[in-house]
Structure 1
Amino acid sequence: MIGLRLWRTVRIRRRRASGLVLLLACLGMFSITRNSYAEGLAPLKIVAFGTSLTARGGWQPALEAELAACLHRPVKVDSVAKSGETSLWALTQVDRVVAEQPDIILIEFYANDAALQRFVSLAQSRKNIGDILDQLRQRLPQARIIVMAMNPFSGLRGLIRPFVDSYISVHQAEAQKRGLEFVDHRPNWQRLAPDDLAAAIPDGSHPLPDIASRIIAPELVKHIAGNNCGE
C-alpha cells in the first residue's frame, strides 16, 4: 500500500515537472519569436527638425531607446537641426527632411523666430511654418507630423523673447488647422521646483541633456505610442 502511494506521488510530481518544463519551453519560444519578429522589422524612422533645442538637445538617444522598448521594434532618430536658425532656414531644409523618408517628423522652429535680434515677425513666422507643414504633408503624406513647444526661457535669453508664447501659439494654430499634432513640453518643465528648473537650464535656454532626456523622451513616447506601451 505504501509502495503504491509512493509510486502515485512520483508519477504526479513527474507530470508537474514535465508541465513546468513545457511551460518554460513555450515561454522561451515566445520570447525568441517576439525578438526575431522585432529584429525583422524595419526601424521606425524619426526626423527631429529644429534649432539648437534639437541640435544640442541630447534627448534623441533616450527617445530611441524608450520608444523601441515600448513598441518592441527598432527606432532610429536623426536630426536636421542647426543652432541659431529660424523658420527661414527651415524652409531651405525641407528637401533634406523628405530625403530621409521618415515615419514621424518632430518640428520646433519658434524659439529663434521669437528672438528680437532675428527680425522674424510673428506674421512671417506663421506663414513660414504653414509653408513648411504644407510641403511636408504634400511630399510625405504618410508621415506623422508633430509640432512641439520645448522648454521655458529665462534670464537674458528670456528677455530677448518677450513674445515667445505668441510664436508658439501661432505655430500650434497652424498645425491644428491642418489636423496635425502638437506636443507642449513646457508644463512638464514647469513642474520642477524653481531652483531645480534653473539648474536644469543653466544658460536660460538650453537644458542639460540628461534632464532634457528625462523630461522630453517620456512625453514623446506617450504621445507617439499612446496606450500601446508595454504591450
Structure 2
Amino acid sequence: MTRLSLNRLRLYGALASMINAATAICAVFVLSATPTSAAERATVLALGDSLVAGYGLPKEESFPAVLEAELKALGHDVRVINGGVSGDTSKAGLSRVDWLFAEKPDLMLLELGANDGLRGLPPEDTERNLAQIIEKSQAAGVPVLLTGMLAPPNMGRDYGEAFNALYPRLAEKYGTAFYPFFLDGVAAEPELNQGDGMHPNAAGVEIIARRIAPSVIDALAAGTGS
C-alpha cells in the first residue's frame, strides 16, 4: 500500500469517527426533546358520585375532563380517570373500588358522601366506609386526596356537626392529603349550578377544577417523592 493510500484511509477513518460522534450527539438531543410517553404520564383516579361523573353535562365538561385540562394548562401531563357513578353512596363506592385499581393510578381523589348526607345515613357508617376505601387504596400503594363534603342544612345541627367532622378526622387518622370542601366556591351559587341547585354547571365545574388542581399537584408530588 502506498503512502498516499494509507493517508486516505486515515482521513476516511477520522471522518467516520466525526460522523459517528455527531450522530450520537444528535440522538441525545432528539431523545431529550421527545415528549413524555404515556407510560410516564401520571394517572389520577377520581372516585365519586354524580359530582365526579358529570351529571347533566357532556363528557368534555365533566369534572375529570376539566381537571385534566386544567392540570395540563399548568404544565402537568396527568390523565384523570372518571370513576364517578351518579347516586353512589360511600358504601356503593366501597363495593367497586377494588377493580378500579387495575388502572394503576398514581393518586386517588376520593369524593364520596354527598348522597349519604342527602339520605340522612348515619355519619358513623359513612366514616367507616370511607375509612375502608382509604385503607384499600393505601394497601394498593395508591395515595389518597380526600375531599370533604358538608351536610345539607335541613338535616339539623347535630347531624351536620357529626357529618362535617368525619372528613378532617379521617384525613388526620390516615395521613392523607385533604381538600376541605369539594364544592368550595360553587355551593349555593345559583349561577354556578344546574336547575336542581345541587349539581354544578359547566362554569361551576371549571371553578372546582381550578381550585382543587394545586392540591392534586401537591398530592402527586408527595406520592411520587418528587
Q: TM-score, normalised by structure 1?
A: 0.67
CA distance in 2, matches of 1:127, 1:59: 26
For residues 63 and 102 of structure 1, the distance between their equivalents in structure 2, rounded to whole angstroms, comes to 15
- Please list the CA deviations of residues 171-223 of structure 1 after superposition, one character each: whole Å capped at 9, or x if unmatched: 23112211001112468416x9x7xx11212312101023212x111222211
CA distance in 1 between counterparts of 2:184 and 2:96 reads 30
Q: Which residue of 2 aligns with 1:148?
A: 147
Distance 2:198 2:64 in 1: 18
1:35 and 1:86, CA in 2 relative to 1: closer, same or farther beyond 3 A? farther
Q: Counterpart of 2:65?
A: 61
Retained in 2: the 8 A contact 1:110–1:171? Answer: no
**CA gap 1:65/1:101 in 2 versus in 1, 3 angstroms:** same
Q: 145, 150, 159: which is aligned to 2:154?
A: 159
8 Å contact 2:109–2:146 — kept in the other structure? yes
Q: Which has the higher contact order (CA 8 A, sep 6+)?
A: 1
Once the 2 structures are TM-superposed, how far is the Cα of residue 126 of structure 1 from its aligned partner? 1.1
- Segments of structure 1 that go 5 or more residues without pairing to the other structure are 1-29
Structure 2 gaps of 5+ residues are 1-28, 56-61, 221-226
Q: 1:209 aligns with which of 202, 207, 210?
A: 202
Structure 1 position 34, deviation (Å): 6.7
Deviations 1:13-63, CA, capped at 9 Å, x for gaps: xxxxxxxxxxxxxxxxx9x87762434762211111011111126122221
Provide the TM-score with structure 2 as the length reference: 0.69
Q: Hey, what does 1:79 align to over in structure 2?
A: 82
Letter in 2 for 1:51: D
The CA distance in 2 between the partners of 1:44 and 1:76, in whole Å, is 6
- Describe the shift of the 1:72–1:199 C-alpha distance in structure 2 as closer, same or farther (beyond 3 A): closer
Which stretch has the larger CA shift, 40-49 or 92-101? 40-49
Alignment of 1:223 with 2:218, yes or no, is no
What value does the CA root-mean-square deviation take over the aligned residues? 3.2
What is the percent sequence identity of the aligned residues? Answer: 25
